């Protein structure tokens, strides 16, 4: 009598292998379909509530998807992959070009299209100080999540090709963040021949889910030990990256502004990055340091109020939340004033971006960088 076990044993090897592949394929397909439901936000390539899209980049790790448009969230990405109008390599005589490099603050996190601080800076330079001889172009090279390492690569890879006259650099917060792998190690990995294998798996939802499960199940003590030395970019690396960016800029005859970020949580891990920027600016000719927090709390209430009202008249659908802001007393203490200009402890809101744009224009004038 032939048993079920005997029949299994008699199944040809070729069929058994084929059957195994079919089962595996079904598992992978089901996993790909189900995995997105269980993947946490931090394991997805997304920009919070901004609903923009990212694509993978071998050198830069990720970048904004070119020509992405989301009207409901007021997001428009140009052909080059930046939140701005189209960039041009050629320019008209008499044009002064300013490149703003940074992370989500420069990008304009949860700020309407057209109201990032690079937008306001350009608008202020051209509208408030019109000239037949000079036209100002301010390009927004901000990408959420970027560190100074990514900025250094982006500067040499793309930004210098647009020949800006002035370069505004604003990194630090993402550099100081903890990660399972430092940016330098990630860059080395991406430079290896194994990158294509990694890139293949990175497209898989199931891969991201398994990565998440691994991270959740690793012993907490081991994770702390792992993360303790895995800052994305150490202060020493940050200093080297910024110095390299300054060197590249100066070799292309650019004036440089190092703009620290408006982060209220300047703890022992974050503060050294801003101190390094200030030290570099103090020791390097043609490099200016600016503190975003100082800019956001030290302004002329009447001037700012008048400018915001003017913006709202010319751009009615600006989402500046003007009524709420205009009704507040601008003589309130700095802490209250600062809170009114921020989306969260890191990102300025539309009014805050308008303030940064205005203050940067003043800084450029005071330092003789624009006429």
Asked whether the predicted pLDDT for residue 255 surpasses 60, the reply is: yes
> Of the given ranges (67-81, 131-145, 320-334), which has the lowest mean pLDDT?
320-334
Q: What was the pLDDT predicted at 12?
A: 80
Crossing angle, helix 301-314 and helix 350-366, to 10 degrees? 120
Q: Which phi and psi (to 5°) does residue 170 adopt? A: -140, 90
99 neighbors 122 (Cβ within 8 angstroms): no
| For range 193-209, the mean pLDDT | 73
What is the pTM assigned to this prediction? 0.80
Measured between alpha carbons, how far is residue 366 from residues 94, 359, 360, 361, 363 in Å?
20, 10, 10, 9, 5
Gap between the Cα atoms of 210 and 205, Å rounded: 9
Gap between the Cα atoms of 237 and 70, Å rounded: 36
Asked whether the predicted pLDDT for residue 122 surpasses 50, the reply is: yes
What is the tens place of the pLDDT at every residue in 267-289? 677 889 999 999 999 999 999 99
pLDDT confidence band for 251 (50 / 70 / 90): very high
Crossing angle, helix 271-283 and helix 235-251, to 10 degrees? 30
Q: Which homologous superfamily does the CATH classification assign to the domain defined by 48-177+231-366?
A: SGNH hydrolase (3.40.50.1110)
What is the tens place of the pLDDT at every residue in 162-180? 999 999 999 999 999 887 7
260 neighbors 277 (Cβ within 8 angstroms): yes
What is the tens place of the pLDDT at every residue in 184-196? 988 988 887 777 7
Alpha helices in 99-253 (DSSP H): 104-107, 117-123, 148-157, 183-191, 195-202, 205-217, 220-228, 235-251
E-strand stretches of the chain = 54-57, 61-64, 69-70, 75-76, 95-102, 135-140, 166-170, 255-260, 287-291
What is the tens place of the pLDDT at every residue in 24-73? 888 888 878 887 777 654 444 444 435 567 788 889 988 998 998 887 77
Q: Which phi and psi (to 5°) does residue 137 adopt? A: -120, 125
259 neighbors 170 (Cβ within 8 angstroms): yes
Alpha helices in 319-349 (DSSP H): 322-327, 334-339
Closest C-alpha among 74, 59, 211, 68 to residue 146: 59
Can you tell me which residue has the tokens 């650099």? 169
Q: Which phi and psi (to 5°) does residue 255 adopt? A: -85, 145
Percent of residues, the chain, with pLDDT higher than 90? 40
178 neighbors 227 (Cβ within 8 angstroms): yes
- Radius of gyration (C-alpha) of the chain in whole angstroms: 25
Under DSSP, the state recorded for 192 is: S
Gap between the Cα atoms of 283 and 13, Å rounded: 73
Gap between the Cα atoms of 274 and 369, Å rounded: 23
What is the CA angle 118-328-361, rounded to 5?
Answer: 25
Annotated domain spans of the chain: 48-177+231-366
Q: What was the pLDDT predicted at 40?
A: 59
297 neighbors 337 (Cβ within 8 angstroms): yes
Instruction: Provide CB contacts within 8 A for 176, sequence distance 6+.
Output: 231, 232, 233, 269, 270, 273
| For range 315-330, the mean pLDDT | 49
Four-residue CA torsion sign, 88, 91, 94, 96: positive
Under DSSP, the state recorded for 284 is: S
Q: What was the pLDDT predicted at 222?
A: 53
Gap between the Cα atoms of 209 and 204, Å rounded: 9
| For range 343-350, the mean pLDDT | 84
């Amino acid at each position: 009598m032939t048993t079920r076990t005997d029949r299994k044993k008699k199944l040809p090897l070729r069929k058994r292998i084929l059957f195994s592949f079919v089962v595996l394929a079904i598992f992978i397909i089901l996993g790909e379909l189900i995995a997105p439901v269980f993947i946490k936000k931090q394991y997805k390539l997304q920009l919070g509530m901004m609903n923009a899209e990212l694509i993978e980049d071998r050198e830069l790790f990720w970048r904004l998807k070119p020509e992405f448009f989301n009207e409901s969230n007021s997001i428009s990405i140009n052909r080059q992959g930046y939140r701005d109008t189209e960039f041009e390599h050629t320019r008209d005589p008499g044009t002064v070009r300013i490149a703003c490099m940074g992370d989500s603050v420069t990008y304009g996190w949860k700020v309407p299209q057209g109201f990032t601080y690079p937008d306001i800076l350009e608008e202020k330079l051209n509208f408030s100080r019109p000239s037949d001889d000079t036209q100002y172009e301010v390009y927004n090279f901000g990408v959420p999540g970027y560190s100074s390492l990514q900025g250094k690569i982006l500067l040499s890879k793309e930004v210098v090709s647009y020949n800006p006259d002035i370069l505004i650099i604003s990194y630090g917060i993402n550099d100081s963040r903890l990660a399972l792998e430092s940016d330098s190690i990630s860059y080395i990995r991406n430079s290896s021949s194994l990158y294509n294998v990694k890139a293949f798996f990175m497209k898989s939802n199931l891969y991201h889910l398994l990565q998440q499960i691994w991270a959740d199940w690793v012993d907490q003590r081991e994770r702390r030990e792992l993360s303790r030395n895995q800052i994305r970019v150490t202060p020493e690396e940050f200093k080297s990256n910024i110095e390299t960016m300054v060197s590249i800029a100066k070799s292309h005859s650019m004036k440089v502004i190092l703009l620290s970020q408006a982060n209220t949580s300047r703890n022992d891990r974050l503060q050294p990055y801003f101190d390094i920027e200030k030290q570099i600016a103090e020791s390097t000719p043609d490099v200016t340091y600016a503190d975003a927090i100082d800019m956001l709390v030290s302004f002329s209430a009447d001037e700012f109020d008048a400018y915001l009202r003017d913006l709202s008249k010319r751009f009615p659908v600006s989402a500046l939340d003007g009524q709420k802001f205009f009704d507040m007393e601008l003589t309130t203490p700095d802490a209250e004033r600062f809170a009114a200009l921020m989306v969260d402890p890191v990102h300025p809101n539309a009014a805050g971006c308008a303030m940064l744009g205005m203050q940067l224009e003043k800084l450029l004038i005071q330092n003789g960088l624009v006429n």
